[in-house]
Structure 1
Amino acid sequence: MDINNKVIVITGAARGLGLAMAEYLADKGAKIALVDMDFESVNHASSMITDSKGYVCNVANESEVEQVFEQIKNDFSRIDGLVNNAGILKDGLLIKYKDGEMNKMSLDQFQSVIDVNLSGVFLCGREAASHMVRSGQGGVIVNISSISRAGNFGQTNYSAAKAGVVAMTTAWAQELAKFDIRTGAIAPGFIETEMTAQMPQKAYDMAAQMSPLKRMGTPQEIAQAVSFIFENDFISGRVIEVDGGTRI
């Protein structure tokens, strides 16, 4: 896909990885629909990017997702691409037993992460694909997974969601190819974002040292990988690990 003049929707786009992707793709000539939960943040982000517009949406809410994709289609006349980036963390052990006291991960703690990180990807992917099929011009869907998809200590909910994201990516590649729609996934390792910047220094240094490159990745390096999937027309149904060689 030639990114120039294509309309690309990015969820979780107000900051961090999402904003970096939006800026990178916009620099290549894309028209960007930025979707996020926070009205002020997403509109501020939009004000910094040419040919963009901000939208407020909870990706875990079906009716909101349907409405926002319809609005994007009306505003831009088409939808050519989607980056499913929105996600949350609510880490915790499955169970914690100490001094005779049992603490369990609550269903709400598990389900809230699944709702955003997996169901949200499903809903946005479904709506984007629907509009792409109706247009008859194909498109590309890129889902953001994680190296934690293999399973990571303290991340039962997050790992399960990110594994599901890769599985959906593969399934969609098979189902949507006849409509000239490709899919791909990115599995980032530890990346320099607002979230990692809030880590205690010792934990931050340990995370950086997990990579053979002895550093964290940058949001721009993830954006480059996303752009590669959009631009390479023979990539579909695969996950690209951008983790500096880190393996969890």
Structure 2
Amino acid sequence: MTAEADEKQKAAMQLPLELGYGQASSRDDLLISASVAPAVELIDRWPDWLAPVVLLVGPPGAGKSHISGVWKSLSSAGDVSSAMRSGATSEHQGTAFLFEDADHEAFDETALFHLINHVRQNNGTLLITARSLPGQWGVSLADLKSRLAAATVVEIGAPDDELLEQLVFKLFADRQLDVDDRVVRYIVTRMERSLEAARGIVEAIDKLALARGRRITRALAAEVLQQHD
């Protein structure tokens, strides 16, 4: 192979430039299946929640961030995640608040206790997302334990095939790609059961197809899935 031909081959295999594919954040963008139905109902009931504080609990990759993002957009909630971890005690503005990944890092228990009191006293709402129930967080402040025990708990499971198929179709459609149903089902039955995994796999398949100038086939998808094992 000549040096010129070698350079052309390398150029053909270069991955395309990164393009921005924004994540949807409106209620109409929520994908619905049995695994997330309780959370979708939660969004639809707001602001008429049974309790001012709601805990959205589910495993990593179940879609908690996507669901909470839709609610944040709908409610114009303030994200207090950083404030809860820094212990900021400034006066809270507004009546709707979001605290994400409560059990992922340590947080200031007193700050969360005061926030919950603010929400209760001002007819507000607070959505807290976590991977586990509060009893597993190691909370030591008795008053906070009591407040969390009074919260409504909504649990969602790992994404099921129905949800993952919807998501993979949508992710390809967002990239203006028309992919055969059989290829999508092939991907879903062999991928990690998480929304983040779906996004990563679709992105990798798109890049590889563009780099090779090929349409998306089961063989190409299989190559990417093997790399994600």
TM normalised by structure 1 equals 0.28
Q: Does 1 or 2 have the higher relative contact order (CA < 8 Å, sep 6+)?
A: 2
Whose Rg is larger? 2
TM normalised by structure 2 equals 0.30
